[in-house]
Amino acid sequence: MRVSIFGLGYVGAVTAGCLTKEGHTVVGVDVQAEKVESLASGVSPIVEPGLGDLLADAAKNGLLSATQNHEEAIAATGVSLVCVGTPSAESGELNLQYVRQVVGQIADAVRASGESHDLVLRSTMLPGSTQKIADELLADLLGSGKLRLFFYPEFLREGTAVADFDDPSLAVVGTHDGSAFPGELSPLFGGDAPSVSWPGAEMVKYACNAFHATKVTFANEIGRIGKSMGVDSQSVMRLLCQDTRLNLSPYYLRPGNPFGGSCLPKDVRALAHEGRRGGVELPLIDSLLPSNEAHLAKLIEQTKRLAKGRVTLLGLSFKSDTDDLRESPMVEVAQHLLGRGFELSIYDPQLNLAKLIGTNKRVIDEKMPHLASLLTDDLATALGRVGLVIAAQKCVDIETLRPLLTAEHTLLDVNGWPELRDLPAQYEGFCW
């Protein structure tokens, strides 16, 4: 495959070296003559282990060239990768000046050539950016089929970038509508990368980087408060990372219910309080409960917007397969609905009021003393009158729900239960 790479910084140079290693012919393009001269001679413009040898071999074997002339590059290749920077403006706003400039040059060159071309954006951009660029700069080419546009975010770590390129821990390709990308481009995309929409692929990159920043900040905050309490936080975090069932797993990384229960809220409160008491600043930990409360407020707002009279709540406890009502977000939702005068039924087969004891019983006695009158084990009757159904838990199987729901029901999915989309009701996801 003949590929042009626009932007010969960190991502562009690594991509050039790794693609030539796979036998592809690469034309590097940059506005800086020094970078062009360096790459053309097989010398890496950046410091990155292993990259210098790759570029030297590529130049020696005639697989690598470089130019400042975008028209020349487009004429010599069938695919272009845009790897230019997207720096921050003083306000923090993302600066897409260089991406737009390069894309405009590529578009003009493709129009002049009359040949079809594939354009792959690798520069980090906020969701919606690719669509806007497509609409404003590429509409005619995309409409005529002369150009195909993809967003392919990079997940390279400086210092291990060559190894990361060869064996990516994550790969995703954004297409216009999330459909599969053309098979002939699979060598560029790692072969088995999943396809999502342009905004989806853009968001994955930001989600990953924000998560990495969160992890570093979290570990540092544990370090600060640990030191203030005489604890070796390095050993604490090493042990934390050994748990791949919960700590390093997808278990908690699913949008849906706010957190609740007997552990997370109280333990975050305690840690935040200890930080304040000891004069240790913990901005991330301090923000956890307010963020969770904002998430709950959003859920309550959405629930009240969708409710039209009758509401059936599937699951009241803080998570499935438990009867623990302590700090359950659904208890708060139920209270708000009752306060607004909605008719409410609750289906939760794990709940047996006679067996509630201690704090769990006290929660209900204080917040929902009339819970017994709201609970039902007759789901058919509860759903027999149309209204809003809030699926907070997987406490009933899909095939039981299917004949009980109609197109007149509204179904709010709070749990991230994809099979609910196939039911006859009007489906709405909480935050998806």
What is the crossing angle of helices 329-339 and 283-306, to 10°?
40
Contacts of 134 (CB under 8 A, 6+ apart): 142, 149, 176, 198
Spatial neighbors of 61 by CB under 8 A, at least 6 apart, are: 20
How far, in Å, CA of 272 to CA of 232, rounded? 19
Per-residue burial over 296-310, b if 16 or more Cβ lie within 10 Å, else e, is beebbebbbebbeeb
Determine the 3-state secondary structure of 81 from DSSP.
Answer: strand
**Is 263 one of the catalytic residues?**
yes
Question: 403: part of which helix (H) or strand (E)?
Answer: none
Number of H helices, E strands in the chain: 17, 13
Q: CB neighbours (10 Å) of residue 250? A: 6
The C-alpha atoms of residue 365 and residue 47 are separated, in whole angstroms, by 65
Retrieve residue 188's tokens. 């560029």
Q: How long a stretch of residues is the chain?
A: 432
Q: Which of 18, 83, 208, 263 is catalytic?
A: 263
3-state secondary structure of 310: strand
Q: How far apart are CA 4 and CA 21, in angstroms?
A: 15
Where in the sequence numbering do the catalytic residues fall?
A: 263
